[in-house]
Amino acid sequence: MTDIEMRQEDHFDHRSPPSGPAGPGAPRVTLKEIAAHAGVSRSTVSLVMQESPLVAETTRTRVQASAQALGYVYNRGAAMLRSARTATVGVVVHDIANPFFGAMVAGIDDVLQAAGYVPFLANSGDSPARQERFLTRMREQHVDALLLCPAEETPPALIDTLATWQLPCIQLMRHLGETPQGDYVGADIRQGVHDAVAHLVSLGHRHITLLAGDSDHSADRERLDGYRQAMQAAGLEVESRVLRGELTRGAGLQRTLALLDEAAAPTALICHNDLVALGAILALQRRGLRPGLDCAVVGIDDIDEAALTHPALTSVATHPEAIGRAAAELALARIADPQGAPARIVLPATLEIRDTTSTSPRREQESS
Amino acid sequence: MTDIEMRQEDHFDHRSPPSGPAGPGAPRVTLKEIAAHAGVSRSTVSLVMQESPLVAETTRTRVQASAQALGYVYNRGAAMLRSARTATVGVVVHDIANPFFGAMVAGIDDVLQAAGYVPFLANSGDSPARQERFLTRMREQHVDALLLCPAEETPPALIDTLATWQLPCIQLMRHLGETPQGDYVGADIRQGVHDAVAHLVSLGHRHITLLAGDSDHSADRERLDGYRQAMQAAGLEVESRVLRGELTRGAGLQRTLALLDEAAAPTALICHNDLVALGAILALQRRGLRPGLDCAVVGIDDIDEAALTHPALTSVATHPEAIGRAAAELALARIADPQGAPARIVLPATLEIRDTTSTSPRREQESS
DNA sequence: TCCGTCATTTGGATCGATCCAAAACGTCAA
DNA sequence: TTGACGTTTTGGATCGATCCAAATGACGGA
């Protein structure tokens, strides 16, 4: 369905300048030159470049040969000026260094490349100002669609702004406003956290603390809802506890250290993401406690490292690559049909049980 | 020196459509409309957009007000068609999920943003084919310069190809060919590894294994050279040992496990990067060995996690952010003066000693 | 032979910002 | 008053690919 827009000269070779002229002041090769060389009109060459089915096979190969021979370089600027499409999709995430997003971007890349689109990646570093600059630039570049994992504190009106820009936007993992406005792809984290709590409760845990993010966006609320709901269902609401803070490994470490110093330390931790969970594990180890034995830890995302670390981390798997793929496919669909009804894709989040939730809590064991 | 190219409308607000028309079929606002609205010519408006010093202050503010009022969007395609510069720099790295590159990209972003340039980021995933696609696309986009951390197995002729493309290219961390051709920014890893070996030797280690990458690029050779040189200087050449393999945490884990099963296990490991080192630490822990006591471990890069992990990882600090900044600055200089002599910037790499090399090797202790 | 049909091909016209040479406007000294 | 000079402003011409309506060519049936 999606038309392939790869061009022949995408496959360049590494021989020195082609047969054509390519000196220091070489005039740029244009469609006109190719047309002359191949004995056709500019229009036909243009059609060949667009992989249009209108041109005859023999003409196509002849034109492609000429383009190759002259060392032609497609001029996106000129194309962009005339046509609405650019075969480019903007991707803005808030923390590219988090392996979760690395995997997600890989999934996005795969789908887009296969469809002849190219991702234009940017890292907002969770700064709304940076994010704005990138979005503006992407609009100037006429990207066909936007995949956005919004920075914290992004004003909810951003989605409306993008709508007036007529720029299709797919929100990933986080969404602005109470319910997702417009297209959204994410994981069912509420359910995942719910399952995690239920699992901990079934092991006998009662004091379960949630290490949440320090700002109030949708991804944070989902975790909180799942947590509260499950604690309530287990009749443990009064013992529930939420700690807010930064979402890095270092912050997770510090927060957990502080937590362990308190009188009523929890027997189990559910962490906003795996980075925080890995920080928590480090904190436990520094205090001479054994994760999974002295205190259970559950992460969220199930990044590769979760299964590798020692002890292996129980985590709610959010399947970043699948989310990236789904989002990219949705973007392509939205480009094809901008007026279609907004989609909200929520992939299941499954609890991967490993060593950090292997046994019942100590206190329970002692009392039994 | 470098002319600032930021435009006024970079700072948009989130109010609904500006006073101008912005319905579903809104005609795009162009310089012509702004000119009419402000009572000047297209040319003048163009000059304002370019922040040219030629226009009078009063005219400038009037034009900017009109642009704002009409909801103008700069059209990079049209600009690109006419002018040689695009205020865009391509950045291609081979593993964006590695925190080292996350930090490096942050440094690049800072410098470029400050100069009014925008990074166009791409992740080759160490695949030369992907890398080629991105480079081609960036040429089509007329990026002003390229910051390239080449994928493994990249044909060395690529640099010549880029030269014939007349595209300034700065190589980062890795370079193609024996000695860097063209501009290069990296860290003095040879010296860093040398220092690491010397440090281990001073602690009494004799069996020091290097966990290297599985392909033969410059960054790999530097490590090898530093290692060989230092081992030789210590008279330990016959005991030196190099193991090649993939450069991920998981691969580091597996390789170390295999290594520990062998008869003549080393007392110290030097790892190609921190990810491999962290994998090695996990392997030791799985075998019930204590990193730093039963076997020393040294990483390279000094990513944030190195200091946090338990036990804290000794690492050769390569200062990714500083490297990113230096490279971006060099790129700006190269854009300003394309004919300048190629620069080769090598920043010092310093050994950060932590817990994983805290004590003398066991065997030595036993024998003493 | 002529005409309709289908598959290809083709010349402008066009997109919107930039470049350039030249014009307009002051200002001031001769 | 004139002219020289410095500062601002301006009207085409232009970049190179795409769009569109119309032309061309080939073929088969009447």
The pLDDT tens digits for A58-88 are 999 999 999 999 999 999 999 999 998 999 9
**Hunting for tokens 């080393």 — which residue is that?**
B266
pLDDT at residue B362 in the model: 57
Tokens of A170: 């797919």
Of the pLDDT bands very low, low, confident and very high (cuts 50, 70, 90), residue B23 is very low
Of the pLDDT bands very low, low, confident and very high (cuts 50, 70, 90), residue A238 is confident
Query: Phi and psi of B204, rounded to 5°?
Result: 105, 5
- B111: buried, middle or exposed (CB in 10 Å: 19+, 13-18, 0-12)? buried
Q: Nearest by CB to A78, which of B81, B155, B161?
A: B81
CB contact, 8 Å: B309 with chain A?
yes
Q: What is the sign, positive or negative, of the torsion defined by CA atoms of A132, A138, A144, A149?
A: negative
Of the pLDDT bands very low, low, confident and very high (cuts 50, 70, 90), residue A240 is confident
The model's pTM is 0.87
Q: What is the mean pLDDT of chain A?
A: 89
Closest residue, chain A, to B116 (C-alpha): A133
Give the CA-to-C1' distance from A75 to D24 in angstroms. Answer: 30
pLDDT at residue A362 in the model: 57
Whether B259 shows a pLDDT value over 60: the answer reads yes
Q: What is the pLDDT of residues A304-325, one digit of tens each?
A: 999 998 899 999 999 999 999 9
User: Are A253 and B133 a contacting pair at CB < 8 A?
Assistant: no
Q: Quick one: average pLDDT of B65-82?
A: 95
Query: Phi and psi of A241, rounded to 5°?
Result: -155, 130
Whether A191 shows a pLDDT value over 70: the answer reads yes
Q: What is the pLDDT of residues A130-187, one digit of tens each?
A: 999 999 999 999 999 999 999 988 999 999 999 888 899 999 999 998 888 899 999 9
The 8 Å CB, 24+ separation contacts for A151-159 are A151/A94, A151/A124, A151/A125, A151/A126, A151/A127, A152/A94, A152/A126, A152/A128, A152/A213, A152/A215, A152/A217, A153/A128, A153/A215, A154/A128, A155/A128, A155/B14, A157/B14, A158/B14
User: Are B158 and A304 a contacting pair at CB < 8 A?
Assistant: no
Give the CA-to-C1' distance from B37 to D6 in angstroms. Answer: 28
Q: Count CB atoms within 10 A of the CB of residue A327.
A: 29
Q: Which of B37-46, B331-340, B354-363 has the lowest mean pLDDT?
A: B354-363
Query: Phi and psi of A223, rounded to 5°?
Result: -65, -45
Q: Quick one: average pLDDT of B97-108?
A: 92
- A61: buried, middle or exposed (CB in 10 Å: 19+, 13-18, 0-12)? middle
Looking at chain A, the whole-number percentage of residues with pLDDT higher than 70 is: 91
Contacts of B123 in chain A (CB under 8 A): 102, 105-106, 109, 121
**C-alpha dist (Å) from residue B152 to A204, B145, B199, B210:** 50, 21, 30, 19
Contacts of A80 in chain B (CB under 8 A): 76-77, 80
Q: What is the pLDDT of residues A251-292, one digit of tens each?
A: 999 999 999 999 888 999 999 999 999 999 999 999 999 999
**C-alpha dist (Å) from residue B112 to B27, B101, B324, B331:** 33, 16, 10, 9
Whether A21 shows a pLDDT value over 80: the answer reads no
Q: Nearest by CB to A250, which of B120, B166, B304?
A: B304
- Measure the CA–CA gap between A43 and A34, rounded to whole angstroms: 11
Contacts of A155 in chain B (CB under 8 A): 14
Is the Cβ atom of B264 within 7 Å of strand C at any atom? no
- Measure the CA–CA gap between A286 and A332, rounded to whole angstroms: 48
- B181: buried, middle or exposed (CB in 10 Å: 19+, 13-18, 0-12)? middle
Q: Which residue has the higher pLDDT, B181 or B352?
A: B352
Whether A126 shows a pLDDT value over 80: the answer reads yes
Whether B21 shows a pLDDT value over 50: the answer reads no
Q: Which residue has the higher pLDDT, B98 or A284?
A: A284
Of the pLDDT bands very low, low, confident and very high (cuts 50, 70, 90), residue B294 is very high
Q: Nearest by CB to B105, which of A16, A123, A286?
A: A123
Q: Which residues contact A360 (CB under 8 A, 6 or more apart)?
A: A203, A204, A205
Query: What type of residue is B342?
Result: P
Q: Quick one: average pLDDT of B202-207?
A: 95
Local structure of A342: helix, strand or coil: coil
**Quick check: B63 and B34 in contact, CB under 8 A?**
yes
Please tell me the distance in Å from B233's CA to the nearest CA on chain A: 37
Q: Which residues contact B61 (CB under 8 A, 6 or more apart)?
A: none
- Measure the CA–CA gap between A262 and A252, rounded to whole angstroms: 16
- Measure the CA–CA gap between B305 and B299, rounded to whole angstroms: 11
- Measure the CA–CA gap between A42 and A36, rounded to whole angstroms: 8
pLDDT at residue A16 in the model: 37
CB contact, 8 Å: A96 with chain B?
yes
Closest residue, chain A, to B90 (C-alpha): A120
Q: A332, A299, A330, A333: which is closest to A314 by C-alpha?
A: A299
- Measure the CA–CA gap between A311 and A291, rounded to whole angstroms: 7
Whether B3 shows a pLDDT value over 80: the answer reads no
pLDDT at residue A19 in the model: 38
CB contact, 8 Å: A158 with chain B?
yes
Report the helix count and the strand count for chain B, using DSSP H and E: 14, 12
H or E stretch at B80: helix B76-82
In this complex, which residue's CA is closest to the C1' atom of nucleotide C10? A41
User: Are A119 and B122 a contacting pair at CB < 8 A?
Assistant: yes
What is the per-residue burial (b if ≥16 Cβ within 10 Å, else e) of A156-189? eebbbbbebbebbbbbbbbbbeeebbbbbbbbbb
The alpha carbon torsion through B313, B319, B324, B325 (nearest 10 deg) reads: 150
**Which residues 47-86 on B are within 7 A of strand C at the CB atom?**
49-50, 72, 74-75, 78-79, 81-84
pLDDT at residue B97 in the model: 82
pLDDT at residue B333 in the model: 95
Query: What type of residue is B301?
Result: D
Of the pLDDT bands very low, low, confident and very high (cuts 50, 70, 90), residue B178 is confident
pLDDT at residue B26 in the model: 61
Q: What is the DSSP string of A28-69?
A: PP-HHHHHHHHTS-HHHHHHHHTT-TTS-HHHHHHHHHHHHH
**Quick check: B111 and B325 in contact, CB under 8 A?**
yes
Whether B351 shows a pLDDT value over 90: the answer reads yes
Q: A346, A320, A296, A286: which is closest to A104 by C-alpha?
A: A320
Q: What is the pLDDT of residues B131-168, one digit of tens each?
A: 999 999 999 999 999 999 999 889 999 999 998 888 99
Identify whether B266 is preceded by a cis peptide bond (ω within 30 of 0): no
pLDDT at residue B263 in the model: 84
Tally C-beta pairs within 8 A across A and B: 152
Tokens of B33: 């409309």
Tokens of A5: 């827009």
Beta strands B208-213 and B241-245 are parallel
**Quick check: A150 and A111 in contact, CB under 8 A?**
no
Question: Which positions 36-75 of B are in contact with A (Cβ < 8 Å)?
Answer: 73-75
CB contact, 8 Å: B84 with chain A?
no
Q: Which domains does chain B have, with CATH numbers?
A: 3-82 (1.10.260.40), 86-187+320-347 (3.40.50.2300), 189-319+351-367 (3.40.50.2300)
Please tell me the distance in Å from B349's CA to the nearest CA on chain A: 22
- B366: buried, middle or exposed (CB in 10 Å: 19+, 13-18, 0-12)? exposed
Identify whether A311 is preceded by a cis peptide bond (ω within 30 of 0): yes
Whether B298 shows a pLDDT value over 80: the answer reads yes
Q: What is the pLDDT of residues A323-367, one digit of tens each?
A: 999 999 999 999 999 888 999 999 999 999 999 998 777 544 444
**Quick check: A175 and A181 in contact, CB under 8 A?**
yes
Q: Which of B143-147, B174-178, B200-204, B228-232 has the lowest mean pLDDT?
A: B174-178
Q: What is the mean pLDDT of chain B?
A: 89
Give the CA-to-C1' distance from B14 to D10 in angstroms. Answer: 35
